[in-house]
Structure 1
Amino acid sequence: MPQNEGPQHEGFEEELGAVLRRTGDGFATDDRRELVAGGLRRGRSRLLRRRLAVTGGALALAAVGIGGAYGSSLLPAGGGPEKVSVAGPKAPEQTRGTSAEAEAEAAAEARANKRGEARIPVKKLAAVLKANTPAGTWEIDNPDGKGQSVLGVYDDGKGKAAVSVGLYRAGAGGESGEDQVTCPSKTAVPYDACTMEQLAGGARLMVLQGYEYPDKREETKQWRAVLLTKDGFLIDAMEYNAAAEKGAEISRENPPFSPAQLKALVTADGWRPLLKQIPSLPRPEKSDSGRQSPAAPGAEATQATLRSLLPKGLTFGDRGGQPGYAFVVVDDGKGKSLVQINVQTNMGDIAGDVFGSGDVTTLPDGRLVKLTQQPGEKGGSGVVWWSADTLATDGFRVVVSAFNTGAQHEDATRAEPVLTMEQLKAIALSPKWRKLPLTSN
């Protein structure tokens, strides 16, 4: 997959979708929708981690979401198959008899089980969705298909709204179930309200009232409820105040279901029999190329090390992170400044893409150092983004960034970041990062 540095990219969802569409040319499979859904679900998580590692500038969220990051859904809710299809030519008619269809179905089931994905009839998912939401009309996407998510457009007479519900096992794609029911930091994700609740029986619930776009360039609202069951399943419901996740006009002031109604939806008993059809998680896939998977230090160790390397006299505000990534908002008395870091191993394959141009120097030990000063990319007015990016000969990479605002989607609070370019470089080159224990991503 091409690696693009800097703010030119529109987002990992669009890039991944384009790659899937190109890859899909020539497919003739009856489970192509789950191919897309599964690819997006796994690929967004991997691509987010890779994009963070490549650019060092995309602000990681407090957690990587089920379908990617907070604020991203599994697929463009309410969109027809033509928006996400990777279908190629249909198989010849003579091969599509009852026997051939049964063989194709068995093969599709086997592939899904290998991926740890269910092939639940969409009609059954839609039935539970309709039974646990207020009266209204529904247009269900791919009603004759199979998978572990249902997408549709709901209309109660007050405006159409895209709605989706997905069922998953916690830990699929490397995501933490606990992270999914923890309200994110507003430094990473702007939202109007977020609640967390421990339910009877041991389940945990988060309800988030936020926006599709962090910079609010469009006023598309996304409200989301995620339930983590005691036995390790996730039920993720999302709704919008438009007929599609992206690209549709606002049809109503708010999404149709209240937080209480979202809670009722994800806690409905009707999901339980369907959850039981989700296979156990497969073992991690080995890379076809034999390349080692990236590894990173734990979230707490990364955060603590970053704080220990910052100048004295700073006031610390919001902070957070995940393995290999940490952010902290600091203030030296002249305004808030966001500082973030990415630490990852086995990244030597991005050397040409990232260090092939710009202000790059090579240290005596072979480490590459690239210093960059550029405008922010998340919509805040007057925001600048300074970074020091380093790559060792064995692929160990450390990227440190600082901004002249406490959150990239908010306007600048000061003329320059709290750290100078030399300070950013010193933090990135600190030997402390090499001493942290690593875990696989």
Structure 2
Amino acid sequence: MPFDDQFSRLLHEAAELAPDPPGAVLAGSARRIGRRQAVRRRAAMAGSVAALALVGLAAAELAPGIGGSSRVSAAGARSGRITGAFMDDTLKSLLPPGQVTDDQGFGIGEMALPGIGPTATLKYDDGHGAGMVVLSTNRVPVPIVQGTEGTRCQDPFEAPVEGCVRTVRPDGSVLVIDRLGPRAPNVTRNWIAIYTGTDGRQVRVDEYNATTAGPPLTRENPPLSADQLTAVVTSTAWNPVFEAFDPVPTGAPTAPAGSAAASPEPSAILATVGHLLPPGVLSEAGSTPQDTAGQAHLRVTVEGRASLLQVTVFPQWQQGVDEHPRQTFESGAAPGTLLRTVDGSSVITTAVGASKGGGGPDLQWSVDVLHPDGTRVRVTEWNGANGYDFEPGTPALTTDQLADVATASAWRH
């Protein structure tokens, strides 16, 4: 799943765990992506820091899984220009008149968030109810290509999309404004604006119709309009932030189609999965277009039991970004979930329950594999009609069968 889809999903999953305090919310939501121990160490943050951590830690935990790279230069860090106060003040200066509370920024070196740049968060009230506004920065590889993260509308399979506008601007930069609806009654709406410049700069704003990423709701829609979101993310006021970023190497990690590191097309993933499923399993990709490189989903049926599978493939995962990708991968495993195979693969198997404490029936099963050649393959299974509603029940495939799919040498390059 691309970073922008995962980022929104994790925020919503964290919100749906309410009314836990922020630290517990973070720990509970992070279990869904297998990063338990790291989050527990960081979840000691309190107050406004924890509010930002809801966003920042989500991105930090996701970044290793999506191959993202936010490189901040040592010179920029030493300069001290990009401070939390700078991020906070700049965001506030770009908002329309209104009341701002609980504002907090984090600059370079002020919070260890690999995979994400300086951030800011606040509560903004235009007179019709407060909403949470979160700004994050990133730098992506250039040139901008079809698979560049954050430059496409979110997949309706992955999120309840109520509307999306994608604009390629005259200079080649891309602006995407997604309007995500509630995933369940009384759950927040999340409107997202992502601006990606031709130099790889990326500014993202998430806003909610609540003062956190979850209920209680404070208004019908988030407070900023599409034009107001556009003004924030495209502002030249963020130029100093990106002067402190090291350029990301051209073509890595999101390489142009056809290169060695290019993510496979959904059709190729589906074809490979079709050859790896156990005998007797019926599979069907559905009628919804699948055009997100590196991932595909399908419905599988075994003896009347139907489940959804999502298969995500990251070629050369973290290579050129992380000096020790396998160590990073394995550090995300909860106790008892990591297996090393004789051929050199690292395999993490997880199951996620419905409750905040992780109890109750399991609703989602996942096998995540880092192959010897650096290819990462994640196969996730659940019962439901789409990628964000989960229902109890026995899955069609066992985790051993998921592991057989994920560990197959057919994925290697």
Q: Same fold (TM over 0.5)?
A: yes
**Partner residue, 1:137:** 99
Indicate how the Cα distance of structure 1 residues 418 and 376 shifts in structure 2: closer, same or farther if over 3 A, else same.
farther
**Partner residue, 1:164:** 134
Determine which of 134, 155, 160 is the counterpart of 1:190: 160
1:277 matches 2:243: yes
Deviation at 1:21, TM superposition (A): 5.9
Contact 1:367 / 1:392 at 8 angstroms: preserved in 2?
A: yes
For 1:141, the aligned partner's letter is D
1:206-355 aligned at under 5 Å gives the runs: 206-210=176-180, 215-216=183-184, 219-245=187-213, 249-268=216-235, 270-271=236-237, 273-281=239-247, 298-300=263-265, 302=269, 304-310=271-277, 314-317=283-286, 318=288, 319=290, 326-330=295-299, 337-341=307-311, 350=330
How far apart are the structure 2 equivalents of 1:119 and 1:277? 10
For 2:231, the aligned partner's letter is A
**Partner residue, 2:320:** none
Deviation at 1:196, TM superposition (A): 1.5
Contact 2:77 / 2:244 at 8 angstroms: preserved in 1?
A: no
1:362-401 aligned at under 5 Å gives the runs: 384-385=363-364, 400-401=379-380
For 2:245, the aligned partner's letter is P
Q: State the SS of the aligned residue for 1:261.
A: helix
Deviation at 1:256, TM superposition (A): 0.7
Deviation at 1:113, TM superposition (A): 3.1
For 1:134, the aligned partner's letter is P
Deviation at 1:234, TM superposition (A): 0.9
Contact 1:182 / 1:196 at 8 angstroms: preserved in 2?
A: yes
Deviations 1:145-188 (A, max 9, x none): 7554332222222112222333332249xxx9821121222332
Number of residue equivalences: 341
For 1:328, the aligned partner's letter is H
Deviation at 1:331, TM superposition (A): 6.1
Deviation at 1:208, TM superposition (A): 1.5
Deviations 1:1-25 (A, max 9, x none): xxxxxx996122986454236699x
**Partner residue, 2:410:** 432
How far apart are the structure 2 equivalents of 1:37 and 1:419? 33
How far apart are the structure 1 equivalents of 2:372 and 2:68? 32
**Partner residue, 2:62:** 45
Deviation at 1:271, TM superposition (A): 2.6
- TM-score by length of structure 1 reads 0.56
For 2:383, the aligned partner's letter is N
1:202 matches 2:172: yes
Contact 1:224 / 1:238 at 8 angstroms: preserved in 2?
A: yes
Deviation at 1:229, TM superposition (A): 1.2
Determine which of 28, 34, 52 is the counterpart of 1:10: 28
List alignment gaps of at least 5 residues for structure 2: 1-16, 18-23, 109-117, 250-259, 318-324
After the TM superposition, which of the residue ranges 227-236 and 390-399 deviates more from structure 2?
Answer: 390-399
Deviations 1:8-56 (A, max 9, x none): 96122986454236699xxxxxxx99x9899848732346x2xxxxxxx
Deviation at 1:228, TM superposition (A): 0.6
Q: State the SS of the aligned residue for 2:62.
A: helix
**Partner residue, 2:14:** none
Contact 1:126 / 1:140 at 8 angstroms: preserved in 2?
A: no
How far apart are the structure 2 equivalents of 1:219 and 1:366? 43
Indicate how the Cα distance of structure 1 residues 406 and 221 shifts in structure 2: closer, same or farther if over 3 A, else same.
same
Indicate how the Cα distance of structure 1 residues 252 and 399 shifts in structure 2: closer, same or farther if over 3 A, else same.
closer
After the TM superposition, which of the residue ranges 330-339 and 201-210 deviates more from structure 2?
Answer: 330-339
**Partner residue, 1:180:** 150
List alignment gaps of at least 5 residues for structure 1: 1-6, 25-31, 50-62, 68-108, 284-294
Deviation at 1:129, TM superposition (A): 3.8
Contact 2:337 / 2:350 at 8 angstroms: preserved in 1?
A: no
How far apart are the structure 2 equivalents of 1:369 and 1:231? 36
1:120 matches 2:76: no
- TM-score by length of structure 2 reads 0.59
**Partner residue, 2:9:** none
For 1:257, the aligned partner's letter is L
Contact 2:363 / 2:390 at 8 angstroms: preserved in 1?
A: no
Return the index of the structure with the highest Cα Rg. 1
For 1:167, the aligned partner's letter is T
How far apart are the structure 1 equivalents of 2:86 and 2:337? 53
